[in-house]
């Protein structure tokens, strides 16, 4: 019924498990994942082109200048951006595309793509979030403190999202996010074309029967 794909934005506090939720979503269901560009250094185990397109600040700036991003933002001293071409091509082919991005980027997406579904992933409570961030062991105490400060600021943006999903049990969370996206794709306002076509077809049938 719906030709174009759905654009899905997933944001959430640092340490909430967004990456794992998204990875499981893609393994279990059919979604296209946009790989962002960033100026941040790769973490151990991260692969260029799979986790991120790792760029120098100069390369990143060039991409901004050439309109290569549908959105970009600065987050805790690094730049992050969503490459335009992949997202536009996938949506055009009718694929549902996931962007895992922070809140400033999500707001820019909402302005440009009013039909995008914005989902915010959160933890059951603040202490759990802190423990997850510390337990990850990928950032030093200073970076963790900055990310928790940022999380506090991000609570102001949470009401702007369409859906809030708690990541307590991973499998449940993955299914809940999928359910939200599924429900969204059935909204009548997304099927105006179908309704119009159905009306035309029924009009013809009615004519045939009454003649």
Query: How many residues appear in the chain?
Result: 211
Residue 62 to residues 6, 18, 55, 78, Cα–Cα distance (Å) = 28, 28, 10, 15
- The separation between CA 60 and the C-alpha centre of its own chain, rounded to angstroms, equals 20
Toward ligand 5GP, which CB reaches closer, 75 or 161? 75
Alpha helix segments (H runs only) across the chain? 18-28, 57-65, 84-92, 103-112, 126-136, 141-154, 170-185, 192-210
Site for ligand 5GP in 8-27 (CB under 6 A): 14, 18
Toward ligand 5GP, which CB reaches closer, 73 or 181? 73
Q: Which of 90, 102, 176, 184 binds ligand 5GP (CB under 6 A)?
A: 102
- Which H or E run includes 98? strand 97-100
Under rule CB under 6 A, residue 176 binds ligand 5GP: no
Q: Which of 23, 26, 29, 40 binds ligand 5GP (CB under 6 A)?
A: 40
If binding means CB under 6 A, how many residues of this protein chain bind ligand 5GP?
15
CA dist 15 and 156 (Å) reads 18
Residue 186 DSSP label: T
Q: Which of 24, 39, 82, 167 binds ligand 5GP (CB under 6 A)?
A: 82
CB of 14 to ligand 5GP, least distance (A): 6
Under rule CB under 6 A, residue 101 binds ligand 5GP: yes
Residue whose C-beta lies closest to ligand 5GP: 105
Residues 6+ apart with CB under 8 A from 28: 174, 178
Q: Which of 81, 98, 121, 184 binds ligand 5GP (CB under 6 A)?
A: 81
Under rule CB under 6 A, residue 105 binds ligand 5GP: yes
83: burial class by Cβ within 10 Å (0-12, 13-18, 19+)?
Answer: middle
The binding site for ligand 5GP (CB under 6 A) comprises 14, 18, 36, 40, 71, 73, 75, 80-82, 100-102, 104-105
């Amino acid at each position: 019924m719906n030709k174009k794909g759905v654009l899905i934005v997933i944001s959430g506090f640092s340490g909430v498990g967004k990456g794992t939720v998204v990875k499981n979503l893609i393994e279990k269901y059919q979604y296209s994942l946009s790989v962002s560009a960033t100026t941040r250094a790769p973490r151990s185990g991260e692969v260029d082109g799979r986790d991120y397109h790792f760029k120098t600040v100069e390369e990143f700036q060039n991409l901004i200048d050439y309109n290569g991003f549908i959105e970009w933002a600065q987050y805790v001293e690094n730049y992050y951006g969503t490459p335009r071409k992949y997202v536009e091509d996938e949506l055009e082919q009718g694929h549902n595309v996931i962007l895992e991005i922070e809140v400033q980027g999500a707001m820019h997406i909402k302005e440009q793509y009013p039909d995008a579904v914005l989902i915010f992933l959160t933890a059951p409570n603040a202490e759990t979030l802190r423990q997850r961030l510390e337990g990850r062991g990928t950032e030093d105490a200073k970076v963790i403190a900055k990310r928790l400060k940022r999380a506090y600021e991000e609570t102001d943006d949470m009401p702007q999202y369409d859906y809030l999903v708690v990541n307590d049990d991973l499998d449940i969370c993955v299914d809940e996010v999928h359910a939200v996206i599924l429900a969204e794709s059935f909204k009548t306002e997304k099927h105006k074309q179908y309704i119009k076509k159905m009306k035309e077809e029924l009009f013809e049938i009615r004519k045939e029967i009454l003649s």
